[in-house]
Amino acid sequence: MAANKVIPIQAANPVGEDSSGFSLYEKTVKIYPRSVSGQFARLRWVMVWVTQLVFYGLPWLQWNGRQAMLFDLVERRFYVFGLVLHPQDFIYLAVLLIVAALALFFFTAVAGRLWCGYACPQSVYTEIFLWVERHTEGDRQARMRLDAAPWSVQKMARKGSKQLAWMVIALITGLTFVGYFSSIRGLLSELLSLTLSSWEWFWILFYGLATYGNAGFMREQICKHMCPYARFQSALIDMDSMVIAYDERRGESRGSRPRGADSAALGLGDCIDCTLCVQVCPTGIDIRKGLQNECIACAACIDVCDQVMLKMDYPKGLIRYTSGNGLVQGLNARQIIRRVNRPRVWIYGALLVLVCSAFAYNLTTRLSFSVDVIKDRGALAREVGPGEIENVYRLQIMNGLEQAQRYTVSVNGLPGLRISSDPQLEVQAVGIASLPIRLTLPPELAAQSRGKTLPIVFEVQTSVDGRAESRQEKSTFYVLP
């Protein structure tokens, strides 16, 4: 009997390795951004203060005796200062999202990732959490030493105080976020008396945990791997968009030298290869390798490099805000700014102005109430007298004002048609009420339209601060055969 041929089983490559044994996955290396000062660092902190004052402060503002900014999901009403929006006004939310997207396109085309560097919550909270980290564990070198050191009472105290401060900030952030959806004053008093509902606890901890995890641990990983904007930003910028770039022609060849040395004689450019621009980078990249997806345009490398240039008595701006063409063609600041005038900027700008104008017009001229006409499906029509036809409707009126309103209903479109029920209704503040309406068509007119469905128009009127408002809703009147 022939022996079975044995095919040896090869060991598969370990997961994440190709056939040559190289890992296909990059190990995440912890980044220890060095602190930096300078004009852009100050600007970033101004933005931290502005955004946080707005975020933490808005829910505490009052308007007409209620929270000025409240997205009340239970009552299905959104309060934005004097504006009260209902679920049917969701179109405004959709338009706001379009405005935000267009604004992002516009500002990216003009000045790159301004949003990421100065206003994105991920950058802002990372900046705050890093500030805490520096004040509890020290700057870059001290933090690296602390992480490498064995556990001790001092290490536990430093790490513990950092974690505690992070948790407090995260919890306040979670509470504030939930305070946009449920009265923040109520939430705070429930928190202090430990009577928060389980759902309130869940959402506060959920958003708190998201803040803690994203700003404390994930940091640049969010920007590098989870943020979609980093992926499509390259489609939004061109060679004339402002970006943060290293001037290779001026900086290379890089190399260290004593202060006051003759760089030209040494064959060196202005970069002294101090690597400070890499050490301050929150995403851990080397800007000298060119524009990279990971760059969030925080400008920390500009600040630190300018300080190095000042110390070396070189002109500032080895790393600077410029454009691709600015670098290649050696354009000055005025020439770069002049190139803002280009088609994609005009198109994004025009669309932005158009949508914002339409949004503002619609918002300022919108009526304070809405009407739904519901026809009685049980009996389309009935004869209420000799030859006289009646149709029954229900008008549902939603009052968007924060005061009770009286509404008057009339009907048009069919001569002789009259309302044979009370045409008036009072609706309480921000309330909904229904008004039954009976319409009657006299015998002589009904005789002319037997078996027909005729178009009619309801008109609902009210007066707001002496200004008349009226809304029309189409419906039909059915005449029995």
> Which stretches of the chain bind ligand SF4, using CB under 6 A?
244, 246, 251, 254, 271-277, 280-283, 285, 287-288, 295-301, 304-305, 308, 318-319
Residue among 179 and 251 whose Cβ is closer to ligand SF4: 251
| Token pair of 384 as six digits | 């209420």
Map residue 27 onto helix, strand or coil: coil
Q: What is the CA radius of gyration of the chain?
A: 33
Q: How far is the CB of 289 from ligand SF4 (least distance, A)?
A: 9
Residue among 104 and 297 whose Cβ is closer to ligand SF4: 297
| Token pair of 93 as six digits | 């939310």
Residue among 119 and 398 whose Cβ is closer to ligand SF4: 119
User: d(Cα 24, Cα 21) in Å, to the nearest integer?
Assistant: 9
Residue among 48 and 427 whose Cβ is closer to ligand SF4: 48
Q: Judge contact between 436 and 422, C-beta under 8 A.
A: no
Q: How far is the CB of 224 from ligand SF4 (least distance, A)?
A: 11
Q: Judge contact between 243 and 115, C-beta under 8 A.
A: no
Residue among 286 and 444 whose Cβ is closer to ligand SF4: 286
Enumerate the H helices of 240-396 as residue ranges: 248-251, 263-266, 276-279, 300-312, 324-329, 333-338, 343-365
Q: How far is the CB of 150 from ligand SF4 (least distance, A)?
A: 32
Map residue 387 onto helix, strand or coil: coil
User: d(Cα 416, Cα 445) in Å, to the nearest integer?
Assistant: 7
Q: How far is the CB of 273 from ligand SF4 (least distance, A)?
A: 5
Residue among 112 and 208 whose Cβ is closer to ligand SF4: 112
Stretch (H or E) spanning 72: strand 69-72
Q: How far is the CB of 364 from ligand SF4 (least distance, A)?
A: 40
Residue type, 190: E
Q: How far is the CB of 278 from ligand SF4 (least distance, A)?
A: 7
Q: How far is the CB of 243 from ligand SF4 (least distance, A)?
A: 9
Q: How far is the CB of 100 from ligand SF4 (least distance, A)?
A: 23
- Of 373, 419, 377, the C-alpha closest to 397 is 373
Residue among 109 and 308 whose Cβ is closer to ligand SF4: 308
Q: How far is the CB of 246 from ligand SF4 (least distance, A)?
A: 6
Residues 245-273, buried b or exposed e (16+ Cβ, 10 A)? bbbeeebeebeeeeeeeebeeeebbbbbe
Residue among 124 and 352 whose Cβ is closer to ligand SF4: 124
Residue identified by tokens 């660092």 is 41
Residue among 58 and 116 whose Cβ is closer to ligand SF4: 116
User: d(Cα 33, Cα 229) in Å, to the nearest integer?
Assistant: 23
Vertex 338 angle, CA 116 and 297, to 5°: 15
Q: If you write DSSP's letter for every residue of 33-53 in order, what string do you get?
A: PPP--SHHHHHHHHHHHHHHH
Residue identified by tokens 């045409």 is 423
Distances (CA, A) of 274 to 143, 271, 281: 20, 8, 13
Residue among 170 and 272 whose Cβ is closer to ligand SF4: 272
Residue type, 450: R
Q: How far is the CB of 244 from ligand SF4 (least distance, A)?
A: 4
